[in-house]
Amino acid sequence: MVSDTTLDDLPLRDDLRGHAPYGAPQLEVSVRLNTNENSHDVPPEVVEAVVAAIAEQVPHLNRYPDREADALRDALAAFLRAQPASHGVPLTRGNVWAANGSNEVLQQLLQAFGGPGRTAVGFTPSYSMHPIITQTSGTAWVDGKRGDGFSLDPFAVAEQVRAAGGGTGADVVFLTSPNNPTGTALPLDVVEAAYEATRGIVIVDEAYAEFARPLGAGGTPSAITLLPGRPRLVVTRTMSKAFAFAGTRVGYLAADPAVVDALRLVRLPYHLSSLTQAAATAALAHADALLATVEDTKAQRDRLVAAMPTLGLFALPSDANFVLVGGFDDAPAAWKALLAHGVLVRDVGIPGHLRITAGTAAETDAVLAALAEVVVEEE
């Protein structure tokens, strides 16, 4: 059915008029380093376990899934408890909630704790879905400012959190660690300062936590360590990045059980399909195998960072699976030129910068070779 109707002809909400849909281009290119996915396929032993778990569910698809996703939440809590960066915080099922990607977890948080008359603050540049999820929930967005080198310090953050909402304080605070697109981890004193500065919810988006440098080597502990005694603090995670499971759409959070109760008020019943729950639970039983590529990815990230000065470019130190590269004369033109060389990266809208996901060794070879040519073309 063809139609001449445009968005302008529809009775769309006024606050959505003029907005563009979010989404990086999904192009068929040989080297795709634009959405911070894990470039490695799911390992065969995990494929086998997931297929078996799904096969068990299929005859019972006549029934709705477990609305509470108990088995999956048990598995996620056990995974978090075992992480050294969580410092043994005794998380259980009641502290964990899961949804279709951490985007849905964030959306549910805004549905429960944002809304008309409320304000959320985040610190730009950061994950560009934070303002979109905020605004589509009818919540006002405040674009917080960072210091030199995209840094955040506790005093500046606390001040901006207090000033939000015309001085009434932010109802929701977004912090991202490691931050997307800069790759930098956030010192925990910034999280503590934000928490003290508001009576609202403080969300620490840790989508890339598994790529952080180890605690003994300059790494920062997870904000999970701050959860005890802080019922308004929420840490979000995902299986889309380190777990190489983006296609399954599983994100989760760790928080006080009361936060989980709040999300039950807004989540759609049966929001996580039986197949999603089975696949993710089976995958988590093989977490070590799934996460085996994390060290390889970190090595490629470090290779990218180290190579940039040899190309006349510079990179910020990264605790994530991507690198923000600066020093381009014209980043959109460089993005196009890289695409012409078969390499898709991300123009995140920061003048002179492009974000490059760390993938396989062959992908690093390809992007470095393409960059060498593009930098020369730029001159």
> Where do runs of H (alpha helix) occur along 126-176?
129-136, 154-163
Binding part of the chain for ligand PMP, among 84-92, 97-105, 141-149, 154-162 by CB under 6 A, reads 97-105
Query: Would you count residue 205 as binding ligand PMP (CB under 6 A)?
Result: yes
| Cβ-closest position to ligand PMP | 101
Query: Would you count residue 238 as binding ligand PMP (CB under 6 A)?
Result: yes
- Min separation Cβ 355 and ligand PMP, Å: 10
Cis geometry, peptide bond prior to residue 181 (ω within 30 degrees of 0): yes
Query: Would you count residue 176 as binding ligand PMP (CB under 6 A)?
Result: yes
- Min separation Cβ 270 and ligand PMP, Å: 19
Q: How far apart are CA 32 and CA 357, in angstroms?
A: 8
- In the window 22-41, what residues touch ligand PMP (CB under 6 A)? 36
72/307 with CB nearer ligand PMP: 72
CA atoms within 13 A on the CB side of 306: 7
Beta strands in 251-296 (DSSP E): 251-255
The site string for ligand PMP over 99-118 (x = CB under 6 A, - otherwise) reads --xxx---------------
Residues binding ligand PMP: what is the number (CB under 6 A)?
13
Distances (CA, A) of 352 to 108, 322, 326: 35, 17, 6
- In the window 284-303, what residues touch ligand PMP (CB under 6 A)? none
- Cβ atoms of residues 294 and 318 within 8 Å: no
- Min separation Cβ 42 and ligand PMP, Å: 15
- Min separation Cβ 266 and ligand PMP, Å: 17
Q: How far apart are CA 379 and CA 375, in angstroms?
A: 7
Type of residue found at 276: T
- Helices and strands per DSSP (H, E), number in the chain: 12, 12
Q: How far apart are CA 322 and CA 333, in angstroms?
A: 20
Binding part of the chain for ligand PMP, among 95-103, 133-141, 293-301, 353-361 by CB under 6 A, reads 95-103
172/207 with CB nearer ligand PMP: 207
Query: Would you count residue 134 as binding ligand PMP (CB under 6 A)?
Result: no
Torsion of CA 158, 163, 167, 173, to 10 degrees: -70
Other Cβ atoms closer than 10 A to 205: 30
Query: Would you count residue 183 as binding ligand PMP (CB under 6 A)?
Result: no
Closest CA to 33 of 305, 339, 358: 358
Q: How far apart are CA 190 and CA 206, in angstroms?
A: 14
- Min separation Cβ 294 and ligand PMP, Å: 16
- Min separation Cβ 204 and ligand PMP, Å: 10
Q: How far apart are CA 273 and CA 270, in angstroms?
A: 7
180/300 with CB nearer ligand PMP: 180
- Min separation Cβ 38 and ligand PMP, Å: 11
- Min separation Cβ 224 and ligand PMP, Å: 16
101/327 with CB nearer ligand PMP: 101
348/370 with CB nearer ligand PMP: 348
Q: How far apart are CA 207 and CA 104, in angstroms?
A: 13
Q: How far apart are CA 274 and CA 58, in angstroms?
A: 9
- Min separation Cβ 246 and ligand PMP, Å: 6
Query: Would you count residue 246 as binding ligand PMP (CB under 6 A)?
Result: yes
Residues 6+ positions from 220 with CB-CB distance below 8 Å: 177, 185, 186, 187, 188, 212, 319
96/374 with CB nearer ligand PMP: 96
Cis geometry, peptide bond prior to residue 90 (ω within 30 degrees of 0): no
Query: Would you count residue 210 as binding ligand PMP (CB under 6 A)?
Result: no
Q: Which residues are near ligand PMP by CB under 6 A? A: 36, 101-103, 127, 176, 180, 205, 207, 238, 240, 246, 251
